[in-house]
Structure 1
Amino acid sequence: MTYFSTFFTHSGAIKFSKLCIDKGIPSDSGPVPRKLSSNCGIGVKFEYDGPHEDLYTEDMERVYTLENNVYTLIADYD
């Protein structure tokens, strides 16, 4: 499944991106789409077959699923 996560801080997004690399999870960091709110403006898109909660970090703001360019909010940690 494709997920997209926003973060409270830039460093939180960078740490999560490194976590994905360490776990061999395909991911891509980049700007948060305008239609999604974000405190820091950087998000991470990642492919993960398990529940997103397995990868939760305290810097996560929101988690969305991404399918056919449609973002669906599934977790709000704000």
Structure 2
Amino acid sequence: MDEYVAVFFTHSGAIKFNRRLKTNKIECELMPVPRQLSSNCGIGAKFTFDKDVIDLVDDEIEKIFIFENGEYRLVYSEE
């Protein structure tokens, strides 16, 4: 499974995302956004997923990064 970090436009967006993933039995943990992954709200969601991460995107997500080889790589941006 791949490990991802999603960053959000608002705190409530992060909370809704966390709730949605847990309802769907996807491991997810809210956390402060790592300094190098700026965010409007400062809360991120770390989660593991083994399918196409784009399927999880909603209007609240600013960016999604995959964590590989000790580094974050952007895989989705709302911009």
Mean CA deviation greater in 35-44 or 63-72? 63-72
Q: 4+ runs of 1 displaced by more than 4 Å?
A: none
Q: Distance in 1 between matches of 2:67 and 2:35?
A: 15
Amino acid aligned to 1:6:
V
Q: Distance in 2 between matches of 1:44 and 1:57?
A: 13
Q: Distance in 2 between matches of 1:77 and 1:59?
A: 9
Find the counterpart in structure 2 of residue 76 from structure 1.
77
Deviation at 1:54, TM superposition (A): 1.0
- TM-score (norm. length: structure 1): 0.95
Where does the alignment leave 5 or more consecutive residues of structure 2 unmatched?
none
Q: Distance in 2 between matches of 1:77 and 1:19?
A: 19
Deviation at 1:57, TM superposition (A): 1.1
Query: May I ask how many residue pairs the two structures share in their alignment?
Result: 78
Q: After TM superposition, list the pairs within 5 Å mapping 1:1-78 onto structure 2.
A: 1-78=2-79
- TM-score (norm. length: structure 2): 0.94
Task: Give the RMSD, CA atoms, in angstroms.
Answer: 0.9
Q: Distance in 1 between matches of 2:69 and 2:12?
A: 29
